Amino acid sequence: MKSSATGGAVFALGDLSFLTRLPRLGAAESRLDPQIVRFNSDIEPLVRFLEDTPRERLLEEVAARIHRGLSYQHILAALFLAGVRNIQPKPVGFKFHSVLVVNSAHLASISSPDSDRWLPIFWALDYFKSAQAEDVKQGDWTMSSAVEDRVPSPARSKQAFIEAMDHWDEQGADVAVTGLARSSGAQELFELFCRYGARDFREIGHKAIYVANAWRTLQAIGWQHAEPVLRSLAYGLLDRGGDDNPSTADLEADRPWRRNQGLAKTIRSEWQAGQLSYEATSEFLDTLRSGTADEAANKAVALLNRGIAPQSIWDGLFAGAGELLMRRPGLVSLHALTTTNAIHYAFQNSGSDETRRMMILQNAAFLTLFRGNANKLKTVRIDQISQAPSDPPAVDAIFAEISRDRMTAATQVLAYLKTNSEPDDFINSARRLVFLKGTNSHDYKFSSAVLEDYQNISARWRNQFLASSVFNLRGSGDKDNELVKRTRAALA
């Protein structure tokens, strides 16, 4: 365990010798339907092990292999690929959260003290088995092998992929992305996928989330596993939920992208060299609170053309998502935060000026769509959370209050942050309580996103944003997750 989970250097591990120490698979056990996609020979046996081991025994069996030398990186890779092969990415949500949550569990793991590092991954292993069983009930979807005789040449793959995605052609996209994965580099592919991930608002942002999480997980497990992941991703991005083909129809979910493509061209050429402005962020927030998707995108363009820095726009997007969670706590609103996290990741990592413009405009439009029925929103504002009048509370007191009264806890967070500009204790406690109390994928997705984005926001808005996070973080008074006891017993 120590050799596979020390400090933050988890991924310095590259030794594959442990595979020689794994139990040999019998001939019958190693057979696989030739029509089912196969993974690289170094990871296929471990994926099969995760697929075939019963849920009630999996954690103990994985722990035994860890004691024999199985590395964190290989567990992470096998877990991700097992989900890709066994869980249908349509819709990109529901049971497919077992795939979406892998990167969030990984981020939680590498950011945690050694004593807790395995907890998120073991939770994700158990969650995969739950999703696998649900998929079996719904028809037992399994990714098939690629249709090799239809895979286009390297010279043709990129254009074939663009044409298939633009026409929402699933079969064409599958063979094209297979060729593309074999002939193109990670950055070139990311530039394509991050645009399609933010293209439409179907499935409340899960498409953008899948793009970001797929790329981040591949960075950890290695690009050699990219082909099946990209096939799953392309298939998921083409889900239209029963709508007519969007390439030949005018549907609400697609309108922001179509409009924003033209609007992005009106942004001044030096838009990335603006000035940071608290007042401009507040102005943008006013539009996000009540404006339409068009008005929000228009406001972002107007501010950028006024010389306002993109960071001030992102401050407004992060704060607007946090405020929405305060105004209507629940699943839909928390996805405003996880979607903003994913689109911001695309913005940060794209090398295309046009794509970066589009990520800002799409995120602005999406936040107004997350807002929904205004009659169901509380009249609270993120910039009006008042600091608790008492002395700065202890972290333990804040998390106890979260289980009783979240608004009071938010005011206590502001008081705590006044004397703790580097709130490591709060962030570590928030993560640990997700491990101990979390019961679903959204606990991991939300906490990983919001605790990461605390560092992506300007200092003037950072504390308000972290205070808003208590509207979906776990409190110390919440019920314990029994899976933690089983995990610790297995690893003992």
User: Residue 24: pLDDT above 70?
Assistant: no
What does the block give as tokens for 451? 């605790």
CA atoms within 13 A on the CB side of 467: 27
Give the burial class of 14: count Cβ atoms within 10 A of its Cβ; 0-12 exposed, 13-18 middle, 19 or more buried. exposed
Tokens of 242: 């029963």
Closest CA to 55 of 136, 143, 139: 136
pLDDT higher than threshold 70 for residue 12: no
Across 52-75, average pLDDT: 96
Neighbours of 105 (CB within 10 A): 26
Output the pLDDT for position 30: 35
Cα distances (Å, whole numbers) of residue 259 to 198, 244, 246:
13, 19, 14
What's residue 34's pLDDT? 62
* Residue 274, both tokens: 């603006």
In 138-268, where does DSSP find H-type helix?
Answer: 154-166, 170-183, 186-197, 206-221, 226-237, 255-264
Q: What is the pLDDT of residues 136-180, one digit of tens each?
A: 999 999 999 999 999 999 999 999 999 999 999 999 999 999 999
Look up residue 156 and give its two tokens.
């043709």
- Cβ contacts of 164 within 8 Å, gap of 6 or more: 170, 171, 172, 173, 176
Q: How far apart are CA 464 and CA 441, in angstroms?
A: 25
Q: What is the pLDDT of residues 464-489, one digit of tens each?
A: 999 999 999 999 999 998 899 999 89
375: confidence class by pLDDT, cuts 50, 70, 90: confident
Q: Give pLDDT tens digits for 204-230.
A: 999 999 999 999 999 999 999 999 999
99 vs 101: CA distance, rounded Å: 5
pLDDT for residue 462 is more than 70: yes
Report cis status (omega within 30 of 0) of the bond before 91: yes
Place of tokens 């981040």: 216
Q: What is the pLDDT of residues 253-300, one digit of tens each?
A: 999 999 999 999 999 999 999 999 999 999 999 999 999 999 999 999
Compare 26 and 238 and report the one with higher pLDDT.
238
Nearest C-alpha neighbor of 323 from the set 277, 282, 382, 278: 382
pLDDT of residue 18: 27
Does pLDDT of 302 surpass 50?
yes
Question: Mean pLDDT lowest for which of 23-27, 114-118, 408-412, 416-420?
Answer: 23-27
Which residue's entry shows tokens 């998929």?
135
CA angle 92, 94, 99 (to 5 degrees): 65
Q: What is the pLDDT of residue 388?
A: 87
What is the reported pLDDT for 9? 33
Say yes or no to pLDDT of 414 above 50: yes
Average pLDDT, the chain: 91
Place of tokens 């030398």: 69
pLDDT for residue 89 is more than 90: yes
pLDDT attached to residue 5: 38
Q: Is the pLDDT of residue 20 over 50?
A: no
pLDDT over 70 at 392, yes or no = yes
CB 454 within 8 A of CB 427: yes
Instruction: Identify the pLDDT of residue 14.
Output: 33
Give the 3-state secondary structure of residue 144. Answer: strand
The pLDDT assigned to 21 comes to 34
Q: Of residues 27 and 194, which shows the higher confidence score?
A: 194
Q: Where are the domains of the chain?
A: 2-27+40-137, 148-237, 254-376, 385-471
- pLDDT exceeds 70 at position 84: yes
Structure tokens at 292: 């339409």
> Which one, of 424, 439, 430, 428, lies nearest residue 409 by Cα?
430
**Between 376 and 417, the higher pLDDT residue:** 417
Cβ–Cβ < 8 Å for 141, 87: yes
CB 89 within 8 A of CB 235: yes
CB hemisphere CA count around 346 (13 angstroms): 36
- Report the phi/psi class of residue 222: left, alpha or beta, with left for phi > 0 and alpha for psi in -120 to 50: left
Contact 193, 232 (CB under 8 A): no
